[in-house]
Structure 1
Amino acid sequence: MNERHVMTSTTGLIDRYQDYRVRRWLVQEQRTAGMLKSWRPQRRRRLLVIGVTVALVGLAVAGVLCAFDLQVVPIAVAMVSLLLFLPTWTMLRIASGGQDHAPEQMLDEWEIAERNKARSVGLALTQSLTMPGLFFLIWTSAIDPGADAYRTAYAGGLMVLAAVMAGGCAPAMIIGWTRPDPEPEP
């Protein structure tokens, strides 16, 4: 009897959370529905995907540059990359309609399948891109224990941050790149 109560309260909690997500998504969709209409065609969304990609590559490059102890250059590259990333990522999420993070109740079967495929690619990308930064941190610590700990941590941290962000952004980027143009409004 006690197990039944726990299962019911957990299920109720999950259902309430899903309902909350749907309500929050509907409010956000309504808020952004009329925004960035000129960026919604596939060609323009692809420009945003390229911008996000350039920003993430720039962040990873900043990590590599930091590993070579180039004083201010890595910080400047990281700051420029983040300044490019923030607006392009926000615009991409708005222009692609937030399909990458929409609750299942708000999507049709095809959209759910496309989103799930994009999320799968995002996970695989996160796992594979994180490895070089992790290996850098592990090998640098093992091979050269006298290495500058600050530089090593900052370099590896930027590499891993770029990898995790790339994997997290991948679903929206894939959907933004592949989704056809929206239907013209009457």
Structure 2
Amino acid sequence: MADTDLIERYQQFRTQRFLKREQVWAHSLPGWRTRRRRRVLVVALLVTFAVMFGVGVLCAFGVPWAPLVWLPATLVFLPVWIALQIVSSRRGDAPVQALDEFEIAQRNSARSIGLTITQNLMMIPVCYLIFGSVITGGTDTDMAYAGGLLTLTVLLIGGCSPAMILGWTRPDNEPDDV
């Protein structure tokens, strides 16, 4: 009984915090709240993830300057991700109490797809690390670093997928909602 109360209290706290932050950011970036602009942000994230994945592959081949490309990719990723979260009203990770039934269904569907993306893409670095460690006897430090970068990239892709899916698919807000 106490566990349920604790979980319910946490959910209430999380919902209140979400609604408070939603009010703070509700009118930010109004020109970016259209479907077309949200799609630009999603494409920018996809390009950033491709660069990050490419850095991981270059590191696997021992290219010494490749890790330096990770920093600019991260510097692009962070503001684009924050902007997408703001303009999509964080519907991808909103608590249930803050959404209506249709939004809950959309969120859950996007989360399910995000989990599937994560599970399938995670096989790439996992197989790379397993087979690579067998082939090299576990002595290749480039392989370990590259595997870490690939894993981090896949986790970012999976974690961002729900917001990206919702940002891509949701229609523009009605003028009354703005």
TM tier, smaller: over 0.9
Matching of residues 35-184 of structure 1 within 5 Å: 35-72=28-65, 74-145=66-137, 147-149=139-141, 151-184=142-175
Secondary structure (helix, strand or coil) at the match of 1:98 reads: coil
Deviation at 1:23, TM superposition (A): 0.8
Equivalent in the alignment of 2:2? 9
Amino acid at match of 2:174: E
User: Between Structure 1 and Structure 2, whose CA radius of gyration is higher?
Assistant: 1
Of residues 7, 15, 33, the one that matches 1:22 is 15
Q: Deviations over 1:22-76 (max 9, x none)?
A: 110011101101101100000000000011111111111100000111101x212
Pairs aligned (count)? 177
Instruction: Find the aligned partners of 1:47 and 1:121 in 2 and give their Cα distance.
Output: 20
Deviation at 1:77, TM superposition (A): 2.1
Instruction: Name the stretch that deviates more: 100-109 or 43-52.
Output: 100-109
**Identity percentage over the alignment?**
48
Q: Deviations over 1:62-115 (max 9, x none)?
A: 00000111101x212211211110000000000001111111111111111111
CA contact (8 A) 1:67 1:152 kept: yes
Instruction: Find the aligned partners of 1:132 and 1:173 in 2 and give their Cα distance.
Output: 21
Instruction: Find the aligned partners of 1:65 and 1:16 in 2 and give their Cα distance.
Output: 47
CA contact (8 A) 1:140 1:147 kept: no
Deviation at 1:147, TM superposition (A): 4.3
CA contact (8 A) 2:132 2:138 kept: no
Deviation at 1:11, TM superposition (A): 0.6
Amino acid at match of 2:27: G
What TM-score do the two structures reach when normalised by structure 1? 0.92
What TM-score do the two structures reach when normalised by structure 2? 0.96
Q: Deviations over 1:149-169 (max 9, x none)?
A: 2x1111001111111110110
Instruction: Find the aligned partners of 2:93 and 2:140 in 1 and give their Cα distance.
Output: 40
Unaligned residue ranges in structure 1 (runs of 5+): 1-7
Amino acid at match of 1:89: W
